[in-house]
Amino acid sequence: MKEGMFKILVDADACPVVGIIEKAAEERGVPVTLLCDTNHVLFSDYSDVRVIGAGADAVDFALINLCKAGDIVVTQDYGVAAMALGRNAEAIHQSGMIYNEDNIDRLLMERHLAKKARMSASKHHMKGPKKRTNEDDLRFLNAFCRLLDMKLK
């Protein structure tokens, strides 16, 4: 890794965009670290794969401990994104949404309210996320490549 080069850290447990991340990063020569727990072991020809012991937030804390200012963190976890922003890193959701100081507080509050709603609606099954589409992948690819290219300038 070149001196001063940022890296891409991926909260890779059940991350549907790992292939997109690796392809875009490899084309630009940016190193990638995939972090996963022992239930989601991954293999890669390009990325450094770190398997972290199973534990509620083990992968999250390992990722944040590796995170430095200027890195890019890919996560769907708003808490991890908030900690990355606190370290002056960039953070992007697998949907292509860029986390920033303007949206992170609202996202954390929405997560908190949704958790409260789930706790009070224990008898009512809530629907999971909708199926990922090609448009979702394209939206992520475009946002991720813009972020990468901006950092490489």
Looking at the domain assignment, is residue 2 inside a domain? no
Looking at the domain assignment, is residue 84 inside a domain? yes
Number of domains in the chain: 1
CA atoms within 13 A on the CB side of 85: 18
Among 150, 148, 142, smallest CA distance to 29 is for 148
Looking at the domain assignment, is residue 60 inside a domain? yes
Q: Which domain holds residue 140?
A: 8-152
Task: Encode the chain (153 residues) as per-residue pLDDT tens digits.
Answer: 455 689 999 999 889 999 999 999 999 999 999 999 988 889 999 999 999 987 778 999 999 999 999 999 999 998 899 999 999 999 999 999 999 988 887 777 776 677 777 677 655 556 666 788 999 999 999 999 999 999 998
CA distance 18 to 74: 9
State the pTM of this model: 0.86
Q: What CATH number has the domain bearing residue 148?
A: 3.40.50
Looking at the domain assignment, is residue 70 inside a domain? yes
Looking at the domain assignment, is residue 48 inside a domain? yes
Looking at the domain assignment, is residue 3 inside a domain? no
Looking at the domain assignment, is residue 24 inside a domain? yes
